[in-house]
Amino acid sequence: MDGGAHPAGRGGAGGRTLTGIGKGLFHRIATAARLACARRMRAVSSLIAEPFYTRTGLRRLALRHIPLGGKNRTFPVVLMEGDLVP
């Protein structure tokens, strides 16, 4: 394996275009949601994946912190949402 599936190698983290596995998965999910008559999509993103979801048309709604079980230990995530346009 050449490591090409890593987000940095496929336009993910730090990249400018939507290519690779993430793009394919996102578009399949968006298509299925549209077929089910959904009008909007929400996603919970890691901070590093936020630029990817922004390029798909989602926008940041809120920054949240998920508890990790230890005292004062959390994992930051971004709640994102966007319109599903045909």
**Domain spans of the chain, in order of start:** 7-83
Q: pTM for the whole thing?
A: 0.71
Q: What is the pLDDT of residue 15?
A: 53
Per-10-residue mean pLDDT of the chain, 86 residues long, equals: 45 57 91 95 95 94 91 92 87
**pLDDT on residue 36:** 95
At 81, which helix (H) or strand (E)?
strand 74-83
Q: Which pLDDT value is given to residue 20? A: 84
Distance CA 67, CA 13 (A): 24
Amino acid letter, 72? N
Q: What is the pLDDT of residue 4?
A: 45
Dihedral of alpha carbons 65, 68, 74, 76, sign: negative
